[in-house]
């Protein structure tokens, strides 16, 4: 289970277009406002389908949802390559959003229940930290590959390589073992959905914490634009930001070993504000520190939620947290439009205070 999860995490994040798509949008003539609209379309898709897709995973097959997710995202990136315009990008984000909702909740539930089937659920936090670390470290070779592909074949070559990796992730997903869940077979889809929504209430504090903290990750979509704004040449942007996911990986890895303290998220917001005020290439180091502190907290709140869920509708409950994060993500997008990284930093401080109080 752990090896398959690690391989799947590598594959789903070795997507070259990740390092370039914000630049693709900008170079295609889109404004900052249009790019934010696209990201909002992405989030809206998730808001609409997040919880229903979690119930699909609980009622039918979590493994099947992961397979379908890779296929849908492959079609999404293909749309970007074939139709490089606002509406082509919008269609791609809808497909990516659908694929993302099928993964959200389903992967965490599949991993947790797979470990629990062997009486090893207490190791979920460590394994979750490892998966998060892999997802972030994968961005390093992605930056190198994206730079090489962009140099040889531009955005098109990077896009088609991304399509291939998504399809490969679907093949790897077929290897996940899926424990049987008798209760899900006895209930219909709507009953499973109701169960998941009902079970979200007893763990609402953990659900809210995940919703708020996970939403901050929407800011990652602007990292390349920040580097460009801070006077980094476009062709070097992927390499210049390579340290940011590494710092995030370090934070996620430490989360599997060290306890969470309430001040960590607040500190990450303060560091981001300092980086935004400096607004020079070297400030990317501070951006990486912000991200490392943030990912440390994210692993902890996600793990806490999984330990608190005591129902077969695990994917649905996790999806409830996911849909909450999508709503909060709109605030992140709005903050970027209104005040760039400074406004996002202030928002992180506010979330840190709310989460610390609830904790």
Domains of the chain, with CATH numbers?
Answer: 2-358 (1.20.1250.20)
Q: Quick one: CA dihedral 158, 163, 167, 173, positive or negative?
A: positive
- Cα–Cα distance between 294 and 291 in angstroms, integer? 5
The conformation of residue 312, written as its DSSP 8-state character, comes to: S
Residue 185 pLDDT = 53
Angle between helices 2-13 and 139-173 (to 10 degrees): 120
- Cα–Cα distance between 132 and 138 in angstroms, integer? 10
Residue 249 pLDDT = 92
Residue 161 pLDDT = 95
Q: Output the tens digit of pLDDT for each of the chain's 359 residues.
A: 678 888 888 888 889 998 788 889 989 999 878 888 898 898 788 788 888 888 888 888 889 999 999 999 999 999 999 999 999 999 999 999 999 989 988 888 888 888 887 888 788 888 888 888 888 888 778 878 888 999 899 999 999 999 999 999 999 999 888 877 655 555 666 666 676 677 676 678 888 899 999 999 989 888 988 988 888 887 778 778 888 988 999 999 998 778 777 789 999 999 999 999 998 999 999 999 999 999 999 999 999 898 888 777 788 888 888 888 878 888 998 999 898 899 999 999 999 999 887 55
* Segment (H or E) for 301: helix 283-308
Q: Quick one: CA dihedral 138, 140, 143, 146, positive or negative?
A: negative
- Which of 191, 179, 178 has its CA nearest to residue 59? 191
- Cα–Cα distance between 74 and 63 in angstroms, integer? 17
CB of 240 closer than 8 Å to CB of 284: yes
Residue 160 pLDDT = 96
Question: Helix H segments across the chain?
Answer: 2-13, 21-27, 32-59, 62-82, 86-103, 106-117, 124-137, 139-173, 182-186, 189-199, 204-215, 223-229, 237-240, 243-255, 263-278, 283-308, 314-358
Residue 183 pLDDT = 54
Q: How many CB atoms are closer than 10 A to CB 90? A: 17
Residue 122 pLDDT = 81
CB of 226 closer than 8 Å to CB of 92: no
- Cα–Cα distance between 214 and 301 in angstroms, integer? 9
């Amino acid at each position: 289970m752990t090896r398959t999860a690690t391989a799947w995490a590598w594959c789903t994040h070795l997507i070259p277009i990740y390092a370039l798509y914000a630049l693709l949008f900008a170079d295609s003539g889109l404004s900052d406002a249009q790019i934010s609209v696209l990201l909002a379309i992405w989030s809206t898709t998730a808001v609409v389908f997040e919880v229903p897709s979690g119930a699909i995973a609980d009622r039918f097959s979590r493994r099947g949802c992961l397979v379908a997710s890779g296929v849908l995202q492959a079609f999404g990136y293909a749309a970007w390559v074939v139709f490089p315009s606002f509406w082509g990008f919008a269609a791609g984000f809808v497909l990516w959003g659908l694929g993302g909702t099928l993964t959200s909740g389903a992967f965490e539930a599949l991993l947790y229940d797979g470990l629990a089937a062997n009486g090893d659920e207490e190791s979920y936090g460590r394994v979750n930290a490892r998966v998060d670390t892999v997802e972030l470290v994968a961005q390093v070779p992605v930056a190198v590959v994206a730079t090489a592909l962009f140099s040889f074949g531009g955005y098109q070559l990077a896009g088609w390589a991304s399509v291939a990796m998504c399809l490969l992730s679907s093949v790897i997903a077929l290897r996940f073992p899926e424990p049987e869940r008798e209760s899900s077979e006895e209930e219909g889809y709507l009953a499973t959905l109701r169960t998941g929504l009902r079970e979200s209430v007893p763990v609402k504090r953990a659900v809210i914490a995940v919703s708020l903290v996970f939403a901050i990750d929407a800011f990652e979509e602007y990292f390349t634009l920040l580097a460009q704004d801070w006077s980094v040449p476009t062709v070097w942007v992927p390499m210049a930001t390579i340290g940011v996911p590494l710092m995030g990986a370090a934070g996620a890895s430490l989360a599997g070993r060290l306890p969470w303290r309430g001040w960590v998220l607040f500190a990450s917001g303060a560091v981001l504000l300092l980086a935004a005020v400096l607004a020079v290439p070297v400030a990317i180091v501070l951006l990486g520190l912000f991200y490392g502190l943030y990912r440390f907290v994210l692993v902890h709140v996600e793990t806490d939620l999984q330990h608190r869920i005591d129902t077969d509708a695990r994917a649905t409950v996790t999806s409830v947290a996911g849909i909450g994060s999508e709503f909060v993500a709109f605030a992140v997008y709005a903050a970027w439009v209104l005040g760039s990284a400074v406004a996002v930093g202030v928002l992180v401080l506010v979330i840190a205070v709310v989460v610390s109080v609830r904790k």
